[in-house]
Structure 1
Amino acid sequence: MSSDAHPGPARAIRHDEAARRFEWTEEGHACVLDYTLDGAVASFTHTGVPAAVGGRGIAADLVRCGLETARARGWKVRPLCSYVAAYMRRHPEYQDLAA
């Protein structure tokens, strides 16, 4: 597991490169952004935040961290997850990453 931590507004999100996942634990609940990597194209496949900790901006922080990691590593992003696709539409600063 990578020890890379990416700061969100109040979170240090972990990037587990071996599992292809960005993760955060909130009150004992695992919150994740999963991806696959094919060359320099990251397909963001699933954002999961349990309802018990929903509405706190965790999914947005996970996606922002994933997109910033993609930018830093020169990856393009294929937003297969509907949440990631909507996030990218709402944040034009990430349009250049679209695969």
Structure 2
Amino acid sequence: MGIAQIEIERRDRVTHGDYVAKLDKTDSMAKLSWTDRGGVRHAEHTFVPPEARGKGVAEELVKALVADARQQGFKIAPDCSYVERYFDRHKDLADLRA
């Protein structure tokens, strides 16, 4: 059973940023961090608190990054193991992979 609605907040600091999901009924947050290097966003770390794992939160963070890549025209370097596995499972995203 997944979380009903996951709201993603984008924190863009030009050279780096985060995609953050506030988790329902808790003060915990999940986060995907990235750094821009030469127009490529390096997805460096994905973290989901233990109590929220297995509910699709990390996937929603990656989907937000992918949506922004499509809209803004940047490539993604999946340095984080979760993001790398996501790209490996979704071959249709090959054009976004740096």
* TM superposition score category, shorter chain reference: 0.7 to 0.9
Q: Which residue number corresponds to residue 13 of structure 1?
A: 8
Instruction: Supply the RMSD in Å over aligned alpha carbons.
Output: 1.3
Q: For the residues of structure 2 that align with 1:30 and 1:63, how far apart are their CA atoms? A: 15
Secondary structure of the residue aligned to 1:33 is strand
8 Å CA contact 1:13–1:23 kept in 2: the answer is: yes
Normalising by structure 2, what TM-score? Answer: 0.86
Larger radius of gyration, structure 1 or 2? 2
Q: For the residues of structure 1 that align with 2:5 and 2:91, how far apart are their CA atoms? A: 23
Question: 2:39 is aligned with what amino acid?
Answer: A
Q: Give aligned pairs, total.
A: 91
Q: Displacement of 1:78 after TM fit?
A: 0.5
Q: Displacement of 1:28 after TM fit?
A: 1.6
Q: Displacement of 1:10 after TM fit?
A: 2.0
Question: Among 21, 26, 30, which residue is 1:24 paired with?
Answer: 21
Q: Displacement of 1:12 after TM fit?
A: 2.1
Identical positions, percent: 32
Q: Which residue number corresponds to residue 57 of structure 1?
A: 56
Q: For the residues of structure 1 that align with 2:34 and 2:28, how far apart are their CA atoms? A: 19
Gaps of 5+ in 2: none
Q: Which residue number corresponds to residue 66 of structure 2?
A: 67
Q: Which residue number corresponds to residue 42 of structure 1?
A: 41
